[in-house]
């Protein structure tokens, strides 16, 4: 029996639904999702295993013009994901009139590998708008097959799956057939906490935060976690903690509930906040934090 395996990399502008799509395809919430743009900062692999195939999806940060060093590193993840894809899923949504980042679009236009263009969030749109978008993107990406989908509601995602399986090359598996990601548990835990900060904090705060897991201790009936939230300035520290510690408590409580669902175990979590001045602009600090 032949075995298929390949890298299916998801690229697109911020907030179009890349992470929602990957989670749907993998059937597990691996990537955090929020209503704010630039939620995803890493390349995160989600692996789907079957006797006959292994598909390695990669979620990536939304394509932006780099405003600070962290952005540059995020865009480097996008760039390598375009390079090493066997199949590219270019995702846009019904509200994106044109791709702001022309260079990336041009790179996709020049690709020799199969490109699937997914127009997402069609549940928010009408037939006419969807038809206009299909026409527009088919002209921009003439070699791509265009799909109108809703990643959130799973609409038409099956058709995308069928196409992916058809296009995946014959190859042995790249990863252990038991693994669902290339990332360790600590990474997912830090991302869950970052998601709660994104949801509850406004303006620049979510973008200035990084979460480090200082301790992850698995005991027989409970997992003990100590997390450090890193901000760029003293004023941000005060906001994350909130009046009487309310904000930090809320972030901790909601994170704990979600981590418990994710690892199917009881969790005890402690959160601390620390200032690391301008960490987003320092190459050495970014390296330390895994970017």
Question: Could you list the residues that contact ligand GTP (CB under 6 A)?
Answer: 14-20, 33-35, 37-40, 61-62, 120-121, 123-124, 150-152
| Cβ neighbours for 145, distance < 8 A, ≥ 6 positions apart | 114, 115, 116, 117, 163
Residue 97 interacting entry, from Mg ion, ligand GTP, none, C-beta within 5 to 8 Å by type? none
Instruction: Extract the tokens encoding 119.
Output: 């127009």
Residue 20 interacting entry, from Mg ion, ligand GTP, none, C-beta within 5 to 8 Å by type? ligand GTP
Q: Closest CB to ligand GTP among 75 and 225?
A: 75
Question: Rounded to the nearest whole angstrom, what is the least distance from the CB of residue 104 to ligand GTP in the complex?
Answer: 13
Q: Please say whether the beta carbons of 211 and 57 come within 8 A.
A: no
Report the b/e string of 10-22 with b at 16+ CB within 10 A.
bbbbbbbbbbbbb
The count of C-alpha atoms lying within 13 angstroms of the C-alpha of 267, restricted to the half-sphere facing its C-beta, is 22
Closest CB to ligand GTP: residue number: 62
Residue 248 interacting entry, from ligand GTP, Mg ion, none, C-beta within 5 to 8 Å by type? none
Pairwise CA distance, residues 8 & 119, whole Å: 17
Q: Please say whether the beta carbons of 185 and 216 come within 8 A.
A: yes
Residue 16 interacting entry, from ligand GTP, Mg ion, none, C-beta within 5 to 8 Å by type? ligand GTP
Sheet architecture: strand order including 87-93: 44-49, 53-59, 4-12, 87-93, 115-120, 145-148
Question: Rounded to the nearest whole angstrom, what is the least distance from the CB of residue 234 to ligand GTP in the complex?
Answer: 27
Map tokens 């527009």 to a residue. 136
Residue 17 interacting entry, from ligand GTP, Mg ion, none, C-beta within 5 to 8 Å by type? ligand GTP
Question: Rounded to the nearest whole angstrom, what is the least distance from the CB of residue 38 to Mg ion in the complex?
Answer: 8
Question: Rounded to the nearest whole angstrom, what is the least distance from the CB of residue 284 to Mg ion in the complex?
Answer: 26
Enumerate binding residues for Mg ion (CB under 5 A).
18-19, 39-40
Question: Rounded to the nearest whole angstrom, what is the least distance from the CB of residue 100 to ligand GTP in the complex?
Answer: 12
């Amino acid at each position: 029996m032949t075995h298929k395996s390949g890298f299916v990399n998801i690229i697109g502008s911020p907030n179009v639904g890349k992470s929602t799509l990957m989670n749907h395809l993998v059937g597990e919430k691996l990537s955090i999702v929020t209503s704010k743009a630039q939620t995803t900062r890493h390349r995160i692999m989600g692996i789907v295993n079957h006797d006959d195939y292994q598909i390695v999806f990669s979620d990536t940060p939304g394509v932006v013009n780099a405003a600070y060093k962290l952005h540059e590193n995020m865009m480097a993840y996008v760039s390598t994901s375009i390079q090493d894809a066997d199949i590219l899923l270019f995702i846009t949504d019904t509200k994106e009139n044109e791709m702001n980042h022309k260079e990336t679009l041009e790179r996709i236009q020049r690709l020799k590998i199969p490109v699937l263009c997914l127009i997402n969030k069609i549940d928010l749109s009408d037939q006419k708008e969807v038809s206009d978008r299909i026409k527009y993107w088919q002209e921009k990406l003439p070699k791509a097959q265009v799909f109108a989908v809703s990643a959130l509601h799973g609409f038409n995602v099956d058709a995308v799956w069928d196409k992916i399986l058809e296009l995946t090359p014959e190859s042995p598996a790249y990863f252990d057939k038991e693994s669902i990601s290339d990332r360790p548990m600590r990474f997912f835990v830090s991302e869950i906490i970052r998601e709660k900060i994104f949801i509850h904090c406004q303006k620049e705060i979510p973008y200035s935060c990084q979460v480090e897991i200082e301790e992850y201790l698995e005991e027989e009936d409970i997992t003990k976690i100590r997390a450090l939230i890193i901000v760029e300035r003293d004023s941000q520290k005060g906001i994350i903690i909130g009046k009487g510690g309310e904000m930090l408590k809320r972030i901790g409580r909601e994170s704990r509930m979600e981590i418990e669902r994710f690892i199917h175990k009881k969790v005890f979590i402690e959160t601390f906040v620390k200032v690391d001045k301008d960490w987003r602009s320092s190459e050495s600090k970014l390296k330390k934090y895994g970017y």
